[in-house]
A and B are shown apart, each in its own frame.
Chain A
Amino acid sequence: AQSVAQPEDQVNVAEGNPLTVKCTYSVSGNPYLFWYVQYPNRGLQFLLKYITGDNLVKGSYGFEAEFNKSQTSFHLKKPSALVSDSALYFCAVRDDNQGGKLIFGQGTELSVKP
């Protein structure tokens, strides 16, 4: 079965510093990986996805993620964090063998302090 894991419940970063939110995956076949962000009491906003192609994927709001097949990871990164990046981040894998449903990681709360 497809799964993703986000090993950190919370990540704390100082504004201006680089940030990394970790995600590892377990899939059979080609992985279709996604990152979403959720602000309080809001739905999910799409950040970026990896389907195929370059391992470094650039997304919205200056975020990027690196697909690493050997380490089965898809960590989310940003070179310089903003206070407004503080939110809940979800990694997800799409399972096309189960009707395309998204399987989400546990979520990581990112806190960026001034």
Chain B
Amino acid sequence: GAVVSQHPSRVICKSGTSVKIECRSLDFQATTMFWYRQFPKKSLMLMATSNEGSKATYEQGVEKDKFLINHASLTLSTLTVTSAHPEDSSFYICSASTGPTYEQYFGPGTRLTVT
């Protein structure tokens, strides 16, 4: 149980375009989802926390207008990178939990490359 999927696993987009990444909890209802960004061989940096039906809480330094997060249902959260630039290229990982202080289950990650 407790499976989280991400789609797509890899995406290449052109500079200036937007790209959407989906995070789904397949066998449980995820009240809370977290979005992380990871640079090569580096630690995970929390970008934002989203609770179903409410606005996401962004970490300091993360542009909310650039990284749009929607958590419209208990099984789906989306991260949209708007007007992507090469510096947005990274590995994006989501996690899901049944509540903010409950165990997080991680998705397999999405590799974004902006050309």
Residues of A within 8 A of B (CB): 36, 41-46, 49, 88, 90, 94, 96, 99-107, 109
Enumerate 24 A-B pairs (CB-CB under 8 Å) in ascending A order: A43-B107, A43-B108, A44-B95, A45-B106, A46-B103, A46-B105, A49-B103, A88-B41, A90-B44, A94-B101, A99-B32, A99-B49, A100-B100, A100-B101, A100-B102, A101-B34, A102-B34, A102-B44, A102-B95, A103-B46, A104-B43, A107-B41, A107-B42, A109-B41
Known pairs A43-B106, A44-B93; A100 contacts B99 (CB<8 A)? yes
Q: How far is the CA of A60 from the CA of B34 in the complex (A)?
A: 23
B106 proximity list for chain A (CB < 8 A): 36, 43-46
Q: How far is the CA of A103 from the CA of B36 in the complex (A)?
A: 11
Across the interface, name the chain B residue whose C-beta is closest to A94: B101
Tally of contact residues, B, Cβ under 8 A: 27
Residue among A43, A46, A109 with most chain B CB within 10 A: A43
Residues of B within 8 A of A (CB): 4, 6, 32, 34, 41-44, 46, 49, 57, 91, 93, 95, 97, 99-109, 111
B49 proximity list for chain A (CB < 8 A): 99, 101
B107 proximity list for chain A (CB < 8 A): 43
A101 proximity list for chain B (CB < 8 A): 34, 46, 49
Cβ 8 A contact of B46, one of A41, A102, A107: A102
Contact B109 A104 (CB under 8 A): no
Q: How far is the CA of A90 from the CA of B49 in the complex (A)?
A: 20
Cβ 8 A contact of B97, one of A49, A96, A100, A105: A100
Contact A99 B43 (CB under 8 A): no
